[in-house]
């Protein structure tokens, strides 16, 4: 392949990559009509859209109907300007373009010289008349102004009409992401949680297990997010529920950054009301920062962020326990549970050998007031000490005695064993303004670890008694 062929191949590759990036990007659009003072349309007028923070410009020319359109503008604040011979230059500033927004900005040119410029400041409250999509935009300032425990944008999803939390899910395991953050399981307009789409910078980040978001960016790195709840365009045809679109910040022509730390400490907490005076450890630190700026002004921009979370939680945990009498085989306090009869002859034979008296098929395990082995399997609701399995008897000493009661039943409560969590996430975004359009790349890494000493625990005292001869 010669040099010319390489150039052609490289050009095709760039076009394909750029087209893919443009398809995946979450952008907005501005369109309108250019007219003269009489209301007649003006063709062949040059219209320019400039990002006020990056200086990136896009230009187009009106068609024979005086219509212009910028179909893929990155999220930001723009200035629209237009000029034509014999007319004053028109400029409208502070036009806010959000994700999936479709704005109309008509340009009325006045007769005069190009050297004279008419400047109009855009209204901050803009009504979208070009799209029927329904959905609210939550911007960066609003996201970071709300005190969110865990700093997850998914905790704000239910603020919009028609969006309801859906935590008691049966469609997935509902485990958290980024350690233990809310994966965003919501029902939108009564739909199933698996019907919702989650995107970050145009990329699909749906988690097929949680039916929510697979990644949750640092709050300080999010420019805005939007939930489209109804009447969304055909490009979102893969999902029938809501479309959650997250757009992260990009670098600008000036260097900027931020830093933060949020902490909780055991010394600042009170004891749990139900913890019998115990105060479990609770130490949490969430820290990080962002940094952005130009690599080459008006051309290449960089934005990076980091967030670390370290947490130690000694939450009070309680488990049903057995009394000292229970562990010796005296089940008087559990007598009401000793129902049923011996169902199989083999089981009756096994019980006879262990209890050293005859047990017959169909005999009740216990009846109120039973004191004789001829009337029930366990007279006085008691398992003879000689019948308790040696392995179970050896494990009894490892069962902690109850230290509290609930509704008269013994419980063991403790906050001695803490859950630990560590989560470190970092991301970077590079935006490049090229001759064939704007392209960007986004990289996200999340490394989290959760150690829960109570996760999936089995009540040891129940396991011990179940190994002894008893009732199937």
pLDDT digit string, tens, across residues 77-120: 999 999 888 898 999 999 998 887 889 999 999 988 766 667 77
CA-wise closest residue to 162 among 246, 244, 242, 243 = 242
pLDDT at residue 141, as a whole number? 84
End-to-end CA distance of the chain: 78
User: Could you list the mean pLDDT of each consecutive 10-residue stretch along the chain, which spans 472 residues?
Assistant: 48 40 64 92 93 91 94 90 90 88 90 73 61 71 84 87 67 64 84 84 84 90 85 67 88 92 84 66 91 93 95 80 86 87 91 90 92 91 87 85 81 81 94 84 91 59 34 34
DSSP string, 398-428: GSPPP-EEETTEEEEEE--S-EEEEEEEEEE
What distance in Å separates the CA atoms of residue 252 and residue 144, rounded to the nearest whole number? 20
Residue 138: what pLDDT? 80
What's the chain's Rg over C-alpha atoms? Answer: 34
* pTM (2 d.p.): 0.69
**What is d(CA 15, CA 25) in angstroms, rounded to the nearest whole number?**
15
pLDDT, position 360: 92
Q: Which H or E run contains 441?
A: strand 437-451
Pairwise CA distance, residues 466 & 472, whole Å: 9
């Amino acid at each position: 392949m010669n040099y010319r062929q390489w150039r052609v191949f490289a050009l095709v590759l760039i076009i394909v990559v750029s087209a893919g990036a443009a398809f995946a990007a979450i952008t907005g659009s501005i369109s309108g009509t250019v007219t003269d003072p009489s209301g007649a349309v003006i063709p062949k007028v040059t219209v320019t859209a400039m990002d006020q923070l990056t200086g990136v410009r896009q230009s187009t020319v009106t068609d024979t109907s005086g219509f212009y359109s910028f179909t893929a503008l990155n999220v930001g604040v723009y200035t629209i300007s237009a000029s034509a011979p014999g007319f004053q230059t028109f400029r409208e500033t502070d036009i806010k373009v959000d994700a999936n927004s479709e704005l109309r900005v008509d340009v009325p040119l006045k007769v005069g010289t190009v050297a004279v410029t008419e400047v109009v400041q855009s209204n901050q409250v803009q009504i979208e008349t070009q799209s029927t999509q329904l959905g609210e935009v939550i911007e960066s300032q609003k996201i970071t102004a709300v005190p969110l425990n865990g700093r997850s944008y998914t905790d704000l999803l239910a603020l919009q009409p028609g969006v309801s939390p859906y935590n008691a899910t049966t469609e997935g395991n509902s485990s958290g992401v980024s350690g233990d953050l809310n994966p965003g399981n919501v029902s939108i307009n009564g739909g199933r949680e698996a019907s919702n789409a989650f995107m970050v910078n145009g990329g699909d980040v749906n988690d097929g297990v949680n039916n929510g978001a697979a990644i949750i960016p640092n709050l300080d790195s999010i420019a805005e997010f939007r939930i489209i709840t109804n009447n969304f365009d055909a490009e979102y045809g893969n999902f029938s529920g809501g479309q959650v679109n997250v757009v992260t910040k990009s670098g600008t022509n000036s260097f900027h950054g931020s830093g933060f730390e949020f902490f909780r400490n055991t010394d600042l907490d009170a004891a749990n009301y139900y913890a019998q005076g115990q105060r479990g450890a609770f130490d949490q630190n969430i820290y990080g920062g962002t940094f952005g700026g130009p690599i080459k002004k008006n051309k290449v921009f960089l934005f990076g962020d980091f967030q670390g979370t370290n947490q130690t939680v000694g939450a009070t945990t309680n488990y049903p326990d057995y009394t000292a009498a229970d562990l010796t085989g005296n089940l008087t306090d559990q007598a009401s549970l000793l129902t049923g009869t011996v169902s199989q002859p083999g089981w009756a034979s096994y019980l006879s050998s262990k209890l050293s008296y005859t047990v017959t098929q169909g005999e009740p395990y216990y009846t109120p007031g039973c004191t004789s082995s001829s009337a029930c399997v366990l007279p006085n609701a008691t398992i003879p000490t000689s019948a308790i399995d040696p392995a179970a008897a050896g494990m009894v000493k490892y069962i902690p005695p109850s230290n509290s009661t609930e509704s008269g039943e013994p419980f063991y409560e403790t906050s001695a064993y803490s859950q630990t969590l560590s989560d470190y996430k970092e991301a970077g975004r590079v935006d490049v303004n090229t001759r064939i359009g704007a392209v960007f790349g986004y990289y996200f890494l999340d490394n989290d670890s959760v150690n829960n000493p109570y996760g999936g625990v089995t009540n040891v005292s129940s396991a011990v008694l179940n190994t002894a001869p008893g009732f199937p």
